[in-house]
């Protein structure tokens, strides 16, 4: 099970994510309470192992700027979390994670979008991206997504991730607010979530 911890803003949180065994670490470069500057993100990624994949989250950003930030920060993946059409993804010479809101996703679009992973999230509220609330996981089955590409997001936490994995059977899970306390990354919650997620999959496997 792949695990992505998103919305990282400090080196302390990043090191906790890395040491806890996450596969992906996400930096938000779009309007958000978790937004980080490319310079600050670059200062963090320089201290991380190449084993953990660095993901940049963008919303309707220009291709040129995404390329610039990706190179500056040393990103491994670009996550498109806005209304980016397929031709935007084809112009980016990097692995792509394309995020879709469960309430607005078009099945035709999702099956032909050029990306390495499809991230299904709950609808955003103030900002683009998820609301941190759980949606009805059964609706994912209607999309007939290749589970080998599916990353599940939206309201996940230590208490419900096992149920989510058993219900949806994604290749990975993505979490941000579920490992926070009062809007700040909580190191104990990060460690507990990774331990629970990796433990459950090991037992099931």
CA angle 201, 204, 205 (to 5 degrees): 85
Check if 115 is active-site: no
Helix (H, G, I), strand (E, B) or coil at 199: helix
- Choosing from 40, 76, 121, 174, the catalytic residue is 121
What's the CATH number where 106 sits?
Answer: 3.20.20.70
Which one, of 112, 95, 113, 117, lies nearest residue 170 by Cα?
A: 117
The gap between the terminal CA atoms of the chain, to the nearest Å, is 10
> Given this model, what pLDDT does residue 142 score?
87
The H or E element spanning position 54 is strand 53-58
User: What is the domain range of residue 165?
Assistant: 2-204
The DSSP line for 142-195 is GGT--TTSEEE-SS--TTTHHHHHHHH--SEEEESGGGEETTEE-HHHHHHHHH
> Given this model, what pLDDT does residue 103 score?
84
Distance CA 154, CA 178 (A): 9
Distance CA 198, CA 205 (A): 10
Q: Which stretches within the chain are classed as H helix?
A: 11-20, 38-45, 63-73, 86-90, 107-112, 161-168, 187-204
Mean pLDDT for each 10-residue chunk of the chain (205 residues)?
A: 97 98 98 96 98 98 98 98 96 97 87 96 62 82 93 95 96 96 96 88 45
Check if 6 is active-site: yes
> Given this model, what pLDDT does residue 204 score?
46
> Given this model, what pLDDT does residue 152 score?
97
> Given this model, what pLDDT does residue 205 score?
43
Q: Are 5 and 175 in contact (CB under 8 A)?
A: yes
Query: In total, how many domains does the chain have?
Result: 1
Distance CA 74, CA 149 (A): 23
């Amino acid at each position: 099970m792949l695990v992505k911890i998103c919305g990282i803003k400090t080196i302390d949180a990043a090191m906790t994510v890395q040491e806890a065994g996450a596969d992906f670490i996400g930096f938000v470069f779009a309007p958000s309470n978790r937004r980080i500057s490319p310079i600050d993100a670059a200062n963090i990624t320089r201290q991380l192992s190449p084993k953990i994949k660095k993901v940049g989250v963008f919303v309707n950003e220009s291709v040129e700027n995404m390329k610039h930030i990706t190179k500056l920060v040393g990103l491994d993946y670009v996550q498109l979390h806005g209304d980016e059409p397929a031709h935007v993804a084809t112009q980016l010479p990097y692995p792509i994670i394309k995020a879709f809101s469960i309430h607005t996703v078009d099945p035709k679009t999702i099956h032909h979008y050029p990306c390495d992973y499809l991230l299904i999230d709950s609808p955003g509220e103030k900002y683009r991206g998820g609301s941190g609330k759980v949606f009805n996981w059964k609706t994912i089955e209607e999309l007939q997504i290749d589970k080998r590409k599916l990353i599940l997001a939206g309201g996940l936490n230590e208490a419900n991730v096992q149920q989510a994995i058993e219900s949806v059977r994604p290749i990975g899970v993505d979490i941000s607010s579920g490992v926070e306390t009062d809007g700040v990354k909580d190191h104990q919650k990060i460690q507990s979530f990774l331990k629970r997620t990796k433990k459950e999959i090991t037992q099931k496997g």
